[in-house]
């Protein structure tokens, strides 16, 4: 699966993404709202190889978000499917935040998911205090539905 926008390519991870992935996965500003910290090169190499073998038909996958001009990794999108629910997660490298990249990516990717899985509901879990992600989801017509204490996350649901 490859989706192109004006500035981006959404594509499978490649081993050449390793150094940029390692850079933002180990940035405290990036990790503060995520479930990871201090990931090693070897762990990320395994992560990339594992995701290279997956597709959207699998229960879980992460896809790379790359700059179209350079094919440099600038973020990623997580997709997990369970029943008729698709959970999305997203990360933008701090070097590329606040430039509209994730809005551009999700504006293209969400309709693709809706067409591919028309009976599925799309949700996002957002750490309280992650105001940038909350604002992004509101622009994409998600609404905040509830807070799940065990995940320390607000649940945002895309209205059909």
Helix (H, G, I), strand (E, B) or coil at 151: helix
Give the CA distances from residue 150 to residues 23, 99, 137, 154, in Å, rounded to whole numbers and listed in that order: 29, 32, 21, 11
Alpha carbons 78 and 89: distance in angstroms, whole number: 5
pLDDT of residue 56: 87
Contact 153, 127 (CB under 8 A): yes
pLDDT in tens, 109-135: 999 999 999 999 999 999 998 999 999
Beta strand 3-4 pairing with 8-11: antiparallel
Residues 6+ apart with CB under 8 A from 96: 67, 74, 75
Phi and psi at residue 31, to the nearest 5°: -75, -15
pLDDT tens digits, 10-68: 999 999 999 999 998 888 777 666 766 678 899 999 999 999 999 888 899 999 999 99
- CATH classification number, 3-158, choose in 1.10.10.1100, 3.40.640.10, 3.90.1300.10, 3.40.630.30: 3.40.630.30
Tokens of 147: 């807070």
Q: Helix, strand or coil for residue 86?
A: strand
């Amino acid at each position: 699966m490859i989706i192109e926008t004006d500035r981006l390519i959404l594509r499978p991870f490649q081993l050449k993404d390793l150094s940029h992935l390692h850079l933002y996965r180990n940035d405290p500003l990036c990790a503060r709202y995520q479930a990871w910290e201090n990931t090693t090169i070897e762990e990320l190499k395994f992560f990339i190889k594992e995701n290279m073998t997956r597709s959207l038909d699998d229960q879980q996958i992460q896809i790379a978000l790359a700059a179209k001009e350079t094919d440099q990794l600038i973020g990623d999108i997580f997709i997990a499917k369970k029943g008729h629910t698709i959970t999305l997660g997203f990360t933008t490298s701090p070097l590329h935040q606040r430039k509209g990249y994730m809005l551009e990516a999700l504006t293209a990717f969400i309709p693709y998911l809706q067409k591919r899985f028309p009976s599925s509901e799309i949700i996002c879990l957002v750490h309280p205090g992650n105001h940038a992600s909350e604002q992004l989801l509101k622009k994409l017509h998600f609404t905040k539905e509830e807070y799940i204490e065990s995940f320390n996350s607000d649940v945002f649901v895309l209205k059909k």
